[in-house]
Amino acid sequence: MLNLNVKNEVSRLRAVVLGTAEKNGPTPKIENCYDPKSIEHILAGTYPKEADMLREMESVARVFEKYDVKVYRPEIIKDCNQIFSRDIAFVIDDIMIEANILPHREEEVHAIDYIWNQVAKDKRVILPEECHVEGGDVMPWNDYIFIGTYSGDNYADFITARTNMDAVIAIQELFPDKTVKSFELRKSNTDPKENALHLDCCFQPIGKGKAIIHKNGFLVEKEYDWLCGFFGKENVFEISKDEMYAMFSNVFSISEDVIISEKNFTRLNNWLREQGFTVEEVSYSEIAKQEGLLRCSTMPLLRD
């Protein structure tokens, strides 16, 4: 049996699922893309190559090895993008919840069946069909669960709207002792600088009571204000539209004081070091072209 425990984003990581870029397939057709940033790079002829993405992901695997973290990988599916393991399932406390993701991504979920099957049956949850949710929108934070959502009447028009209010309500019912706090995110199918694909694309709590945030990612200003108040304005690192586009908020915590970050995030990485964090820098700029970065491609199973 696999032991699960994830109470927050920063406790010492012991086991994680890291996605894979192996047999990723050719550059997708525009009509098969799920986000505006990928489309932008396909049109520009700069969509990432498999060899570059493999190299980037291996650099993260080496950091995990350095910190003695057990790494699981999805089973390889030919011609399938399996980089973003955060989307397909997530753990809260000792419960693994399978995500209801975009219909044509279902095979990605089955690539981690071998992990799912090691979890005790009463600790596995598949939400009802009407609950749409992806792990990038779900952040356990001790007594809270932060969830990014979009509840507009035009939800169905946005390929970028991934988590609905049905899922927020279902998660609240699963964890009645926690406070589930949902945040309306700004969505765009066409402009990646106006699109918060997931909550972790515009916000992430990190260790030492700090957080990274992008104000424009939130549709409702008072929800953004609540988060700033919750962490304290002095503990919040505000990122610009261009920094959100580069995925500054999508770093990944190995512990309260160790963070994996993209090496080009100079302003952020300098600030993190000033705050006393150890920053493990990796190159991840090719993977970032698909509107996902370090948190998106990792799915924690066990934290101390």
pLDDT reported for residue 217: 94
Rounded Cα distance, 213 and 167, in Å = 23
Q: Which of 52-56, 149-153, 295-299 has the highest mean pLDDT?
A: 295-299
The 10s digit of each residue's pLDDT in 84-113 is 899 889 999 999 999 776 666 677 888 999
Percentage of residues in the chain having pLDDT higher than 70? 92
pLDDT reported for residue 46: 77
More confident residue, 299 or 192: 299
pLDDT reported for residue 190: 66
When the pLDDT of each residue in the chain is averaged and rounded to a whole number, the result is 90
pLDDT reported for residue 153: 77
pLDDT reported for residue 42: 77
Q: What band does 30 get if pLDDT is binned at 50, 70 and 90?
A: confident
The answer to whether the predicted template modeling score (pTM) of the entire model surpasses 0.85 is yes
Mind spelling out the 3-state secondary structure of the chain? Answer: CCCCEECCCCCCEEEEEECECCCCCCCCCHHHCCCHHHHHHHHHCCCCCHHHHHHHHHHHHHHHHHCCCEEECCCCCCCCCECCHHHCEEEEECEEEECCCCHHHHHHHHCCHHHHCCCCHHHEEECCCCCCCCHHHEEEECCEEEEEECCCCCHHHCCCCCCCHHHHHHHHHHCCCCEEEEEEECCCCCCHHHCCCCHHHCEEECCCCCEEECHHHECCHHHHHHHHHHHCHHHEEECCHHHHHCCCCCCEECCCCEEEEECCCHHHHHHHHHCCCEEEEECCCCHHHHCCCCCCCEEEEEEC
The 10s digit of each residue's pLDDT in 227-272 is 999 999 999 999 999 999 899 999 999 999 999 999 999 999 999 9
pLDDT reported for residue 36: 67
pLDDT reported for residue 187: 76
pLDDT reported for residue 156: 65
Domain 13-303 matching CATH 3.75.10.10: the answer reads yes
Q: What band does 197 get if pLDDT is binned at 50, 70 and 90?
A: confident
Domain-wise residue ranges, the chain:
13-303
Looking at beta carbons, which pairs linking 166-170 to residues 24 or more positions away fall under 8 Å? 166/128, 166/130, 166/131, 166/132, 167/100, 167/127, 167/131, 167/132, 167/133, 170/127, 170/128, 170/131
The 10s digit of each residue's pLDDT in 111-145 is 999 999 999 999 999 999 899 999 999 999 999 99
The 10s digit of each residue's pLDDT in 141-162 is 999 999 999 887 776 666 666 7
pLDDT reported for residue 92: 98
Q: What band does 47 get if pLDDT is binned at 50, 70 and 90?
A: confident
Say if CB 96 and CB 124 are below 8 A apart: yes
pLDDT reported for residue 179: 98
